[in-house]
């Protein structure tokens, strides 16, 4: 029982943006993916959601292979992604946004809607408001709501706190905790590492589309030098290794 | 915001009144009324064509130049079936059915291969499809004066002292009805909601799990029904000739442009206004010749009016 | 100059075709066919006008046949009303439609894609109206006192009185028209168009006057349509309402795509399909309406699978045939072999370019504020870059690219100034800044695949008015500096992603740049490539005198090559100064690593 990503490679704009990345997340667990901008985190999320072509590797959800399926099939299989940048259907009302996202399973629509509103009472108050006129934080709630309407077993959240006020971020982190309490597995991509590592069980650090670290969150917290290397400081050992790897990739 | 809206409406009313007055000043009221009514009927056809195109464009991103051609194929088939002695209502159904089949075929077989191309490319491809249909239809039914008549042509209704044929009334009411119906469909049903979602943001809709192929198929079907009905009515009211019906797509586009390829009520208003102006132009000996091109000029003016100040762009392509 | 006169396979086939038509056809064809060939030639010219707009600029114009009608009308009227020679009337016809074309360009400056196509379609309808109200083509009170449509015979040019000689005459003019397009394609306008199609922003920052070149394209296309229409009118001697229909413009555009908009041959094929195919069908006793089916199927085929149309497929076939016969391909491979030795690196020593380049003054950013809606994208940024290479870093959404867009003039500022030496950048329009010496790269390389590597670089120099020799030397030097001298003649589409990045750098260093800005130059590159790129950037100041600003997420790169660094976060400047000191700043580490504020 897990969402497993095995040896995934992703192509975007004719360029290999993710190479041979593996990770998994179990029900009720949180895996954080960290790394500088352009490290391939967003592309990884989009590929798992079926929006970018996978060139190698597999995605399995509870043993079922969903690699290369359409986005709607992947949602139905229980995996929902929240893309970066609190994207909503701007010219639809909040309620229509949620209903559209839930239209895949019309039978459970009303229940899913009630559930989402229970989680985000702020949205219930604004159900008739156009989503384009919401604040960034509220839009992020709608975006999370899009995913929740599909009643996912696993959820991937890309840059949840990007551009949001600290108070909202705390609020959303609470929601993530709620989700894990309901046994939903969460893959969390965050630029605020401290925040992500505070809630994550496992962590993965990407650099140039490749795995730089894969282990427990506690381990990573104990070794800040690993993160520094991925974001900031110059680390000759990894640089040389990275070059080696990219050569191989070019030759392949 | 509301102030400019009111101003726009006022401007529109004043302009329309001025045009009607200028063209029909010295004509007896009855003549003016007759031309006005016939203009409304023609305008309804333009509007219907435009509505079908806008519904399809919003849901699929395809501006369908083959709309008129599908209607032409349907109308010619209906005429042929009646000639062969088929019970007319069945022939009318066959007309709509054929138009739906033609557009669905394109929507399922060809359109998906162009799904991620630019809007212009998608539109150009439908132009190719329109030419194929037109070629086949013109080949099957070589130039010959034909007449398609519906029983409603003979029923006259007295309205404000004018005799209006039931066909015209039906066309006018149908255009109102279809706008209302589609509005309700889009706002009240789940598939309608999915269509609005697609129109708003295609890639996000895909991501949140909207079954794009299914929704698009339905949109092609709806536009097929409208195209078939419009073709049939056009064949009855104006002319039963493949080329003429096929190129009805151009005033339809003009009507659609009036609604910014988006607002169905404005498409209807644009289509009706075009029809009326075009019909009233017949009254002027000087401008008579310019009649068929009136929709172009109106749409061009409307487009330039929309364009003032802001940029008109498509999606986020810019 | 040599490049100017080089023929392409398509050009050669086109020339052969024209020669064949010129010499053989008139002597063997019957009267009916003579007229069909003449009108084919006329339409080939008109199609060429539509095709180059579509292939070079990506703009769809659906007015062409309407403009032909105007050209025909003008010629006919002048011919009946004056005693001017035919040629003068033809030029007048072209001039009138050229002006109309420029008027059509006005909406094109604002509209793109589908709406532009629709506007041109409406314009075609409008032209029909005007012609109708002016009593086109016959009747009315005549023109300058002479009754049109009267029995008076139509005057053809003195050297082309018979149908046969008129066909030769037409072909000659058509070939001239084709050459005119080809000339444009190979000179500055062609380069500008290619860049505009790729990205208007990139074109503007390369110093291309987008308004001018778009209008120019419409004018050229209009000119060709007018001359084509005039020639056709001369052939018929009389026009009726059915000769030029607005709806045929749509067909002409469709056929341009079917034939292959990228090639001369495509225009000829399109015109042949348009005029000869229906006549052939008639001859074979088939309904000419069937030609629509062929057009339509061809269009669908072209749109879905054959972007270069029939001509493209013919070229591919020919190339395949040549390869099978063992002939040396005239393609890129041969060009490389020929050019490798030619462009050595004489200027490898440290030296500046000849053009008045370089900036011996700091770049001063004062009180810069940009607001998008309610969001502060840049909040009172202040920095003075004094070192040759400086960096700008910050997390996602920090405002780095916005700052670069302010430099380029793509973004309105609320307040603030950017001064470099005695120039206030904010006072210059976007494309002038390019000419002044501001260069930039974009996150995605803005390189036109259909131009050669050398041409891509040469675009930057087009507005500077350099002598051809100087320009060529500058381009060669820039390419030598980045190590692409051998690839100068290759089409840019043939390069790999790292080489494309190098072309971007060559575009920035060519000529006399004053400020160069790189937006994520190392994005997506391997560590080795990044290192090489960094070395290259470090050489820029010594070689060109330009100040360089680098935005990148790769802090290693910034730390290695930038002496000064500006750090932005949520539009606010959180640090500025010597790079080492900035990177050690706890505030910067907090912004990057998302640690709690210290």
Q: Which residues pair with A79 in a beta bridge?
A: A154
* C interface test, pick of A11, A35, A246 with most C CB neighbours within 10 Å: A246
Number of neighbours of residue B316 by Cβ within 10 angstroms: 7
Residue C518: pLDDT band with limits 50, 70, 90: very high
Report the distance separating Cα A95 and Cα A89, nearest Å.
11
Q: Kindly state whether A76 is in contact with chain B, defined as any CB-CB distance less than 8 angstroms.
A: yes
Nearest CA distance, A83 vs chain B (angstrom):
8
CA-CA distance, A148 to A141, in Å (whole number)? 10
According to the model, what pLDDT value does residue B308 have? 62
Q: What are phi and psi of A205, to 5 degrees?
A: -115, 125
Sheet-wide strand order for A15-25: A15-25, A3-12, A54-61, A64-65
Q: What share of chain C is helix, strand, coil (3-state, %, to 5)?
A: 60, 10, 30
Question: Hey, are the CB atoms on C594 and A192 less than 8 Å from each other?
Answer: yes
Average pLDDT in the C128-141 region? 56
Interior angle at CA C448, CA C442 and CA C258, nearest 5: 135
Distances (CA, A) of C402 to A164, C372, C523, C555, C570: 19, 10, 18, 19, 11
β-partners of residue C492 are none
Q: Please report which confidence band the pLDDT of residue C594 belongs to, taking 50, 70 and 90 as the band edges.
A: low
Question: In sequence order, what are the residues at sequence separation of 6 or more whose Cβ sits closer than 8 angstroms to the Cβ of residue B54?
Answer: B256, B259, B261, B262, B264, B267
Alpha carbon distances (Å) from A235 to A88, A191, B113, C72, C555: 40, 21, 47, 73, 11
pLDDT tens for chain B, 318 residues long, are 567 778 888 888 888 888 888 877 777 777 888 888 888 999 999 999 999 999 999 899 899 999 999 999 999 999 999 989 888 889 999 999 999 999 999 999 999 888 878 788 888 899 899 999 999 998 888 877 788 777 777 777 777 777 778 888 888 999 999 999 999 999 999 999 999 999 888 889 999 989 988 999 999 999 999 999 999 999 888 888 888 888 888 889 889 988 888 889 999 999 999 999 888 888 877 777 667 777 777 877 787 777 664 443 333 222
Cβ-defined contact of C292 to B286 (cutoff 8 Å): no
**pLDDT value of residue B32:** 82
* Residues in chain C closer than 8 A to B303 (CB atoms): 107, 115, 118-119, 122
Alpha-carbon distance C209 to C109, whole Å? 12
A 10 A CB-CB count for C337 gives 11
Cβ separation B204–A51 shorter than 8 A: no
C422 in contact with A at a CB cutoff of 8 Å? no
Residue A236 pLDDT = 38
Alpha-carbon span C278 to C263, nearest angstrom: 23
Query: What is the rounded CA–CA span in Å between residue A49 and residue A104?
Result: 15
Cα–Cα distance, C512 to B101 (Å, whole number) = 63
Phi, psi of A32 (to 5 degrees): -95, 140
**Bond preceding residue C137 cis, omega within 30 of 0:** yes
Among B315, B313, A224, smallest CA distance to C595 is for: A224
Residue of chain C whose alpha carbon sits nearest to that of A136: C375
Residues C210-233 have pLDDT tens digits of 889 999 999 999 999 999 999 998
Residue A231 Cα distances to A34, A37, A224, C591, C597, angstroms: 9, 9, 11, 11, 18
Which position has the higher pLDDT, C12 or C371? C371
Interface predicted TM-score (ipTM) over 0.90:
no
- Rounded distance, CA B215 to CA B69, Å? 23
Q: A114: burial class by Cβ within 10 Å (0-12, 13-18, 19+)?
A: exposed
Nearest by CB to C111, which of B63, B290, B312? B312
Cα C259 to chain centroid, rounded: 20
d(CA B272, CA C437): 55
Chains in contact with C, counting 3 or more C-beta pairs less than 8 Å apart as contact: A, B
Reading the block at residue A75, the tokens are: 């949602």
For chain C, how far is it from start to end, CA to CA, in angstroms? 64
CA angle A31, A83, A135 (to 5 degrees): 110
Three-point CA angle A183, A122, A150, nearest 5°: 40
Q: Is the pLDDT of residue C165 over 50?
A: yes
Cβ of residue B217 closer than 8 Å to a chain A Cβ: no
Query: Which sign does the torsion angle of CA A38, A39, A41, A43 carry?
Result: positive
CB contact under 8 A, A227 and C593: yes
Query: Which pLDDT value is given to residue B191?
Result: 93
Q: What is the pLDDT of residue A233?
A: 43
Q: Which neighbouring-strand residues pair with B158?
A: B163
Give backbone dihedrals phi and psi of B19, rounded to 5 degrees, phi first.
-65, -45
How far is the C-alpha of C497 from the C-alpha of C502, rounded, in Å? Answer: 9
> Which of C526, C553, C556 is nearest residue A37 as measured by Cβ atoms?
C553
- Using the Cβ of B19 and the Cβ atoms of chain A, whether some distance falls under 8 Å is answered with no
Structure tokens at C527: 């560590």
pLDDT of C121 over the 80 cut: no
For residue C527, the chain A residues in CB contact (below 8 A) are 208, 239-240, 242-243, 246
- pLDDT above 70 covers what percent of chain C? 82
**H helices within C345-420, ranges in order?**
400-408
Rounded Cα gap, residues C268 and C256, in angstroms: 9
Residues C380-428: pLDDT tens digits?
A: 999 999 989 999 988 766 888 889 888 888 778 888 999 988 888 888 8
Q: Which residues of B touch A91 (CB under 8 A)?
A: 196, 200
Q: For residue A230, what pLDDT band results from cuts at 50, 70 and 90?
A: low
pLDDT digits (tens, 9 = 90+) for C536-591: 999 998 888 889 999 987 788 888 899 999 998 878 888 999 998 888 888 887 77
B134/C123 touch (CB, cutoff 8 Å), yes or no:
no
| A159–C570 C-beta distance less than 8 A | no
CB contact under 8 A, C397 and A163: yes
What is the C-alpha separation between A250 and C73, in angstroms, rounded?
A: 62
How much is the pLDDT for B126?
A: 93
SS3 label, residue C143: strand
Which of residues 108 through 127 in chain B touch C, CB cutoff 8 A?
110, 113-114, 118-121, 123-125, 127
Residue numbers in C near B289 (CB within 8 A): 132-133
List CB contacts (< 8 A) between B205 and chain A.
Answer: 89, 100
Structure tokens at B279: 């019909």
Roughly how many angstroms between the first and final C-alpha of chain B, as a whole number?
25
A92–B200 CB contact, under 8 Å = yes
Read off the pTM. 0.77
Query: In this complex, which of C396, C397, C593 lies closest to A231 when CB atoms are compared?
Result: C593
- The distance of A72 to chain B (nearest Cα, Å) reads 4
**pLDDT at residue A98 greater than cutoff 90:** yes
Q: Residue C310: which pLDDT band, with cuts at 50, 70 and 90?
A: confident
Nearest residue to B5 via CA among B265, B185, B186, B201: B265
Residue from C61, C120, C122, C297 to probe the interface with B (highest B Cβ count within 10 Å): C122
Alpha-carbon gap, residue C318 to C402, rounded angstroms:
49
Model confidence pLDDT, tens digit, residues C315-357: 778 877 877 776 544 433 333 333 333 333 333 333 333 345 6
Please, what is the Cα angle at B135 between B129 and B137, to 5 degrees?
100
Residue B131, judged by CB atoms within 10 A of its CB (0-12, 13-18, 19+), counts as: buried
C-alpha pair distances (Å), C443 with each of B213, B316, C214: 33, 18, 25
pLDDT-derived band at C24, boundaries 50, 70, 90? low
Residue A56 tokens, joined: 């190698």
* Full DSSP string of chain B: -HHHHHHHHHHHHHHHHHHHHHHHTTS-HHHHHHHHHHHHHHHHHHHHHHHHHHHHHHHHS---TTHHHHHHHHHHHHHHHHHTT--HHHHHHHHHHHHHHHHHHHHHHTGGGGTTS-HHHHHHHHHHHHHHHHHHHHHHS-S-------GGGG-EEEETTEEEEHHHHHHHHHHHHHHHHHHHHHHHSHHHHHHHHHHH-HHHHHHTT--HHHHHHHHHHHHHHHHHHHHHHHHHHT---HHHHHTTHHHHHHHHHHTTTT-HHHHHHHHHHHHHHHHHHTT-TTTGGGGGGHHHHHHHHHHHHHHSSS----TT--
CB count within 10 Å of CB A214 equals 16
Has residue C1 got a pLDDT over 70? no
Percentage with pLDDT > 90 across chain B? 41
SS3 C549: strand
Find all residues with CB under 8 Å of C284, minimum gap 6, and list them: none
pLDDT average, residue stretch A41-47: 89
Please check whether residue A71 touches B, CB under 8 A.
yes
Render the burial of C281-320: b for 16+ CB within 10 Å, e for the rest: beeeeebebbbbbbbbbbbbbbbeebebbbbbebbeeeee
Taking residue B221's Cβ as centre, other Cβ atoms within 10 Å add up to 16
Nearest Cα to Cα of residue A50 among A28, A34, A29, A74: A74
């Amino acid at each position: 029982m897990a969402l497993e990503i095995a040896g995934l490679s992703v192509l975007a704009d004719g360029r290999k943006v993710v190479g041979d990345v593996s990770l998994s997340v179990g029900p009720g667990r949180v895996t954080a993916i960290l790394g500088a901008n352009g490290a391939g985190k967003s592309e990884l999320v989009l590929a798992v959601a079926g929006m970018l072509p996978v060139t190698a590797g597999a995605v399995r959800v509870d043993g079922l292979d969903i690699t290369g399926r359409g986005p709607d099939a992947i949602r139905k299989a229980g995996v929902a992604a929240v893309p970066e940048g609190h994207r909503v259907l701007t010219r639809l009302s909040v309620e229509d946004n949620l209903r559209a996202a839930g239209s895949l399973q019309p039978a459970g629509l009303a229940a899913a809607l009630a559930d989402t509103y229970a989680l985000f009472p702020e949205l219930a108050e604004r159900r008739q408001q156009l989503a384009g006129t919401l604040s960034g934080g509220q839009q992020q709630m709608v975006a999370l709501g899009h995913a929740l309407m599909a009643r996912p077993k696993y959820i991937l959240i890309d840059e949840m706190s990007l551009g949001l006020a600290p108070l909202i971020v705390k609020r959303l982190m609470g929601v993530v905790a709620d989700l894990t309490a309901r046994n939903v597995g969460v893959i969390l991509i965050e630029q605020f590492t401290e925040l992500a590592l505070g809630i994550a069980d496992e962590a993965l650090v990407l650099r140039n589309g490749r795995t730089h670290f894969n282990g427990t969150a506690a381990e990573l917290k104990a070794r800040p030098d690993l993160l520094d290397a991925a974001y900031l400081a110059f680390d000759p050992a990894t640089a040389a290794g990275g070059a080696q790897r990219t050569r191989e990739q070019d030759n392949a | 915001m509301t102030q400019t809206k009111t101003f726009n409406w006022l401007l529109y009313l004043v302009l329309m009144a001025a045009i009607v007055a200028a063209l029909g000043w010295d004509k007896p009221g009855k003549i003016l009324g007759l031309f006005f009514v016939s203009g409304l009927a023609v305008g309804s056809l333009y509007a219907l064509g435009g509505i079908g195109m806008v519904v399809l464009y919003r849901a699929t991103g395809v501006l369908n130049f083959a709309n008129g051609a599908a209607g032409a194929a349907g109308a010619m088939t209906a005429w042929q079936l009646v000639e062969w002695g088929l019970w007319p209502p069945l022939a009318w159904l066959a007309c709509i059915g054929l138009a739906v089949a033609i557009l669905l075929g394109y929507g399922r077989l060809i359109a998906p291969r162009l799904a991620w191309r630019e809007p212009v490319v998608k539109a150009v491809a439908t132009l190719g499809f329109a030419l194929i249909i037109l070629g086949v239809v013109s080949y099957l039914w070589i130039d010959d004066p034909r007449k398609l008549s519906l029983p409603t042509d003979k029923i006259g209704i007295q309205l404000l002292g004018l005799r209006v044929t039931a066909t015209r009334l039906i066309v006018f009411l149908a255009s109102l009805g279809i706008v209302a119906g589609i509005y309700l469909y889009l706002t009240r049903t789940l598939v309608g909601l999915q269509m609005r979602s697609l129109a708003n943001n295609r890639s996000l809709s895909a991501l949140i799990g909207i079954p794009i192929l299914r929704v698009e198929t339905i949109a092609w079907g709806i536009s097929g029904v409208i195209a078939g009905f419009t073709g049939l009515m056009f064949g009855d009211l104006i002319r039963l000739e493949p080329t003429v019906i096929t190129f009805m797509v151009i005033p339809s586009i003009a009507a659609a442009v009036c609604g910014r390829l988006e607002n169905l009520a404005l498409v209807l208003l644009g289509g009706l206004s075009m029809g009326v102006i075009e019909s009233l132009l017949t009254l002027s000996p000087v401008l008579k010749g310019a009649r068929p091109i009136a929709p172009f000029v109106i749409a061009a003016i409307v487009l330039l009016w929309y364009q003032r100040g802001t940029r008109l762009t498509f999606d986020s392509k810019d | 100059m040599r490049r100017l006169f080089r023929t392409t396979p398509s050009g050669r086939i086109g020339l052969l075709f024209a020669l064949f038509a010129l010499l053989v056809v008139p002597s063997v064809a019957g009267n009916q066919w003579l007229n069909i060939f003449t009108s084919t030639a006329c339409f080939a010219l008109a199609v060429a006008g539509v095709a180059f707009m579509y292939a070079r600029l990506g703009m769809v114009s659906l007015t062409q046949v309407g403009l032909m009608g105007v050209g025909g009308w003008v010629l006919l009227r002048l011919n009946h009303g004056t005693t001017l020679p035919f040629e003068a009337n033809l030029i007048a016809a072209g001039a009138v439609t050229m002006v109309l074309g420029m008027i059509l360009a006005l909406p094109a400056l604002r509209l793109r894609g589908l709406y532009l196509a629709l506007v041109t379609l409406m314009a075609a309808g409008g032209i029909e109206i005007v012609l109708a109200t002016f009593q086109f083509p016959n009747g009315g009170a005549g023109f300058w006192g002479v009754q049109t449509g009267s029995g008076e015979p139509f005057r053809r040019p003195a050297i082309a009185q018979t149908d046969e000689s008129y066909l030769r005459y037409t072909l000659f003019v058509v070939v001239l028209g084709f050459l005119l397009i080809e000339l444009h394609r190979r000179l500055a306008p062609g380069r500008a168009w290619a860049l505009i199609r790729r990205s208007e922003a990139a074109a503007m920052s390369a110093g291309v006057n987008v308004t001018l070149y778009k209008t120019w394209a419409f004018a050229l296309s209009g000119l060709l349509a007018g001359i084509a229409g005039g020639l056709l009118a001369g052939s018929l001697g009389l026009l009726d309402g059915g000769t030029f229909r607005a709806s045929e413009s749509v067909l002409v555009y469709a056929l341009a795509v079917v034939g292959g908009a990228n090639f001369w041959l495509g225009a000829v094929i399109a015109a042949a399909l348009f005029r000869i195919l229906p006549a052939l069908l008639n001859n074979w006793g088939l309904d000419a309406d069937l030609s629509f089916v062929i057009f339509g199927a061809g269009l669908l085929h072209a749109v879905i699978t054959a972007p270069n149309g029939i001509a493209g497929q013919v070229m591919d076939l020919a190339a395949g045939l040549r390869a099978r016969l063992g002939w040396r391909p005239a393609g890129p491979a041969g060009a490389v072999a020929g050019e490798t030795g030619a462009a050595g690196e004489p200027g490898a020593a440290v030296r500046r370019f000849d053009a008045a380049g370089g900036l011996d003054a700091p770049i001063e950013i004062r009180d810069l504020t940009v607001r998008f809606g309610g969001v502060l994208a840049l909040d009172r940024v202040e920095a003075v870059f004094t070192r040759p290479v400086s960096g700008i870093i910050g997390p996602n959404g920090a405002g780095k690219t916005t700052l670069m867009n302010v430099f380029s003039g793509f973004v309105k500022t609320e307040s603030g100034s950017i001064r470099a030496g005695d120039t206030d950048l904010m006072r210059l329009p976007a494309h002038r800044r390019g000419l002044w010496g501001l260069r930039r790269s974009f996150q995605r390389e803005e390189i036109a695949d259909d131009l050669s590597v050398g041409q891509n670089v040469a675009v930057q120099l087009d507005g500077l008015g350099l002598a051809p020799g100087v320009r060529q030397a500058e381009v060669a030097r820039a390419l030598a500096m980045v190590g692409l001298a051998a690839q100068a003649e290759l089409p840019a589409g043939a390069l790999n992603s790292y080489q494309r990045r190098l072309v971007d750098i060559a575009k920035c260093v060519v000529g006399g740049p004053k400020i160069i800005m790189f937006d994520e130059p190392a994005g997506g590159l391997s560590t080795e490539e990044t290192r090489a790129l960094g070395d290259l950037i470090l050489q820029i100041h010594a070689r060109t005198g330009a100040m360089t600003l680098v935005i990148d997420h790769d802090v290693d790169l910034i730390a290695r090559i930038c002496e000064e660094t500006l750090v932005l976060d949520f539009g606010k400047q959180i640090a500025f100064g010597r790079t080492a000191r900035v990177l050690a700043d706890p505030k910067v580490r907090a912004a990057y690593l998302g640690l709690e504020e210290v």
